Structure 1
Amino acid sequence: MASTVTLEKTTTIQSDDAGVVGSPKTTMRSPLLTKKKGATGGAKGRCCGHRCELVSYDKLPEFLKHNEFIVDHYRSEWPIKEALLSAFSIHNETINVWTHLIGFFVFLALTVCAATMVPTEYESPHMATSFKGLANITGNAMVLRSYSADDGAVLAMTMKAFRNVSVETEAAAVLSAGAAGHGRVPRWPFYAYLSGAMFCLLMSSACHLLACHSEHASYVFLRLDYAGITGLIVTSFYPLVYYTFLCHPFYQALYLGFITVSGAAAVAVSLLPVFERPELRWARAGLFACMGMSGLVPIVHKMLVFGDRPEAVLTTGYEMAMGAFYLAGVVVYATRVPERWMPGRFDLAGHSHQLFHVLVIAGAYAHYLAGLVYLGWRDMEGC
């Protein structure tokens, strides 16, 4: 009867019990066959029950190393449940998660507000609205111009209630203009922008919350984050181009087609694994910045054609504010300030990505205000 002992290099030693009388039975296990607790690496070995520990930058796997100036309070390879619950705990991604999650709900509220308070293209104002409009426009037919031809009967009834000849004259002029069939402009470009903003904010929050789970999760959520940024940039063009060039279908199709194709190309490029490498931070920032800066072309075109219109000037002001916020965000994101100056000081609050998130929300809100001006302008003017 022989006993078998397995060594580290799978060496086998055979001994005869008859030749070695009274030899002790010794068992040697190979390290190659021994699975230590936590040998899978990352924070899975540092999770005990429902409690996972935060780790420092030098203990992270490579796929989670994005900013060496944030030196502590990382989650590394946490289970999905713990990663989700970490939204309510303190770590270096907590503010990143909540800035854009709160921003998502703010834009959801703005969308609901716009849908319920800003008239749709199919609505007809009530008679009370018409009375109010006529009472307030003495010498000014601008409000009446936003009414469609379907409101002719309402306005005719309203005019009988007034003996002011100037008001009747203006209302009649508006009615004759409405006979051409002018109605409220389509809302889809405005709501496409709001949808793009909400998608960007929601994907960003999900990425910062769940990318720590695994390398595959990091890859997927980073791509969704990049797609969200691209969607925000692309849909920001839609209200600007559609409403500005409502009466110029060639330029409208040209600009909308260009930014849509550019966005699709940016999403395709972001699918490459090399795109997320930390040393390509400037390339990522440059790509999104160039997409945004291409918006200067239709803005300049707008000012050349409609520079005498107050609506064009006001929307351009909002768009310049939006561009300034976005540009500042890109610079902060790429340079990684202020944590570059004092590594470890801004691990939990105040680091560059948090500032970038706040600037993105500010820029998106400025463009929302521009969208409201576009709707009012084109509802009154039509084409």
Structure 2
Amino acid sequence: MSEILQRLGAVTLNNNHLSYLPHFSDLVPASVPSPSPTVDASQVPVLFREPYILSGYRPPLQDWRCYVLSLFQRHNESLNVWTHLLAVPAILLCWWAKARDLGYALDAASLPLAVFLVSALTYMTFSAAAHLLQSHSERAHYFFFFLDYVGVAAYQYGCALGHYFYSSEPAWKKSYVGLLFLQGAAFFAWLSCAGCCFAKFRYRRPYPWQRKICQLIPTSLAYLLDISPVVHRLATVPWSREPSLPFHALQIGCFLLAAVFFSCPVPERFFPGKCDLVGHGHQIFHAFLSLCTLFQLEALFQDYAKRRDTVVEVFGESQLWWACGSFPALFLCCLATALVAMRHMKEPPQVNRKRDK
């Protein structure tokens, strides 16, 4: 018996046996390059550094496949990718379950709900791609984040359509805001994309306060307009009468929390280097934004279930098709804006390319 215990102890204490466990590099063909180990902030160009994030950066100028495979690597962008990547199947499963229960069929009445789904999947996919691939080079960094802004603009307009056709009250629709809502929502969505693209290529690190202004003013105006029918309904309709209103309140709460963590580098500001891989503000921003979208989807499905028989009568089939047909047009306008910004972007100053000694 003692001999058996001695052998078991030898196996436990012998670290060489751990070499038999498979590593990630063993699971891919030898011809496929493996991602390089992560490095500290001082070893990457200034453009890629985030305030108070001191480590976990992927070196630039690796093979593109390294950044794709870094999806399974621990780095400071990992959770930024996975928070939105995992939200995609969650939203699709929620959509499938709700659509099955309601007997959903694509027609004029349900088209805004379909556009909302496409817009949500677009912003999450573009965001995940940006955070996964932006470390390849400076031009890749700008290109993928410009694409991310296109996805955000698409999502803003998709939300506006859902709120307008399913969640608005007659009194709000007759107001000046309601009468100009769809045109304003499309314009502010484009302005949000243009403002973010301009702020991205106009200002260099360390970013001045003007950069946040260029980003936050257009996106805030877009959000205030897009959420206005929901806020009016929350303020004027008894919540006991509308089961969707608590979910609308939750989506607003999650969005406001997301906005706080997007605007302020917390908690990493108070713990520099401690939140590099898990727990920094942008990861929390992504998590709250994903929750916001899930609550929003639930609320819109409940509103759609209640109003789908009357939505065509109230708004008219032509307005439904026109408003939803504007979505691809807006997407193309935002994409063209991002490409123009990319084309006219000046090369970053040489000082930003240097590595700290």
Q: Same fold (TM over 0.5)?
A: yes
Q: Tell me the CA shift for residue 212 of structure 1.
A: 0.3
Equivalent residue letter for 1:369: E
Amino acid at match of 1:338: P
Q: In terms of mean alpha carbon deviation, does 270-279 or 329-338 score higher?
A: 270-279
- Structure 1 residues 316-364: Cα deviation after superposition (integer angstroms, max 9, x where no partner): 4322221211111111121111110010001110111111111001111
Q: State which of 271, 287, 293 in structure 1 corresponds to 2:197.
A: 271
- Structure 2 equivalent of residue 377 of structure 1: 306
Query: What's 2:139 paired with?
Result: 216
Cα 1:310–1:376 change in 2 (3 A) is farther
2:84 maps to what in 1? 100
Q: Structure 1's 309 and 381: CA in aligned 2 closer, same or farther, altered over 3 A?
A: farther
Q: CA RMSD in A?
A: 2.8
For 1:239 and 1:194, locate their aligned partners in 2 and report how far apart those are by CA, in whole Å: 10
2:59 is equivalent to residue 76 of structure 1: yes
Residue in 2 that maps onto 1:151 = none
Partner of 1:187: 110
Q: Contact 2:163–2:227 (CA<8 Å) still a contact in 1?
A: no
Task: Give the % identical residues.
Answer: 23
TM-score (norm 2): 0.68
TM-superposed CA distance for 1:246, in Å, is 8.5
Distance 1:349 1:264 in 2: 33
Contact 1:111 1:191 in 2 (8 A): no
Q: Equivalent residues in 2 for 1:1-383 (5 A)?
A: 50-65=34-49, 67-77=50-60, 78-120=62-104, 186-245=109-168, 254-272=180-198, 273-274=201-202, 278-279=207-208, 280-281=211-212, 283-302=214-233, 307=237, 313-379=242-308, 383=314
Give the partner amino acid of 1:365: L
Whole-angstrom distance in 2 between the partners of 1:302 and 1:254: 18
Matched residue type, 1:274: R
Structure 2: stretches of 5+ with no match in the other structure = 1-31, 315-357
Higher relative helix content: 2
Superposed displacement of residue 200, structure 1: 0.9
Work out whether residues 185 and 378 of structure 1, in 8 Å CA contact, stay in contact via their aligned partners in 2.
Answer: no
Change (3 A) 1:189 1:88: same
Normalising by structure 1, what TM-score? 0.64
Report the more deviating stretch, 219-228 or 264-273.
Answer: 264-273
Offset at residue 286 of structure 1 (A)? 4.4
Q: 1 or 2 for the larger relative contact order (CA 8 Å, sep ≥6)?
A: 2
Task: Letter of the 2:222 partner, please give it.
Answer: M
Stretch deviating more after TM superposition (264-273 or 363-372): 264-273
Residue 195 (structure 1) shift: 1.1
CA distance in 1, matches of 2:156, 2:233: 19
| Structure 1 unaligned blocks of 5 or more | 1-47, 123-183
Relative distance call for 1:244 and 1:309 in structure 2 (3 A) is same
Residues 121 and 185 of structure 1 are in contact (CA less than 8 Å); yes or no, is this contact kept in structure 2? no
Following superposition, the deviation at residue 96 of structure 1 comes to 1.1
Q: Is the 8 A contact 2:156 2:226 kept in 1?
A: no
CA distance in 2, matches of 1:109, 1:337: 32
CA shift, 1:209, in A, is 0.5
Q: Distance in 2 between matches of 1:335 and 1:308?
A: 35
